Chains A and B, each alone.
Chain A
Amino acid sequence: MSTPAASGRVRAGTRAVRLASASWRLHPRAVAVTITGLVLLALLMALNMRIGDIQLSLADVLAAITGEGPTHFVVMELRLPRALTGALVGAALGLSGAITQAIARNPLASPDVLGVTTGASVTVVAVLVANGAMYGGASGALAGLGVPATALLGGLAGALIVYAFAWRRGLDGYRLVLVGIGVTAVFTNVKYWLLTVGDVEDAGKAMTWISGSLNGRGWEHVTPVALALAVLVPATLFGTRSLGALRFGDDTVTGLGVRMNLARALMLLAAVLLAAVATAAAGPIAFVALAAPQIALRLAGTSHPPLLVSAVAGAVLANAADLVARTLFAPVELPVGVVTAVLGAPYLVYLLIRVRREARS
Chain B
Amino acid sequence: MRLQASGVRLGYGDRIIVDGLDLGIEAGTVTTIIGPNGCGKSTLLRALGRLLKPAGGEVLLDGKRIDRIPTREVAKILGVLPQAPVAPEGLTVADLVARGRHPHQTWYRQWSSDDESAVSEALSMTGLLDLADRPLDELSGGQRQRAWISMALAQGTELLLLDEPTTFLDLAHQVEVLELVRRLHAEAGRTIVMVLHDLNLAARYADRLVAMRAGRVVAAGTPHEVLTEALLRDVFDLDAKIISDPVAGTPLVVPIGIRPSP
Contact = CB atoms under 8 A, between A and B. Distances in A.
A152 B13 CA distance: 47
A360 interface: yes
Contacts of A359: 13
Contacts of A360: 13
Contacts, number: 5
Contacts of B14: 361
A359 B13 CA distance: 5
Interface residues of A, number: 4
B255 to A, nearest CB: 30
Interface of B is mostly: loop
Nearest to B13: A359
A38 B13 CA distance: 32
Classify chain B's interface size.
under 10
A15 to B, nearest CB: 21
Nearest to B14: A361
Nearest to A9: B14
B27 to A, nearest CB: 36
Interface in B97-139: none
A361 B55 CA distance: 11
Interface string A326-361: 000000000000000000000000000000001111
B34 to A, nearest CB: 29
A360 B13 CA distance: 5
Interface string B4-22: 0000000001100000000
Nearest to A361: B14
A358 B14 CA distance: 9
B80 to A, nearest CB: 23
A361 B14 CA distance: 6
Nearest to B15: A359
Contacts of A358: 13
A71 to B, nearest CB: 53
A360 B12 CA distance: 8
A177 to B, nearest CB: 16
B183 to A, nearest CB: 36
A83 B39 CA distance: 55
Contacts of B13: 358-361
Interface in B191-242: none
A110 to B, nearest CB: 25
A358 B13 CA distance: 8
- 5 smallest CB-CB distances across A and B, nearest first, come from A359-B13, A361-B14, A360-B13, A361-B13, A358-B13
5 contacts: A358-B13, A359-B13, A360-B13, A361-B13, A361-B14
Interface of A: 358-361
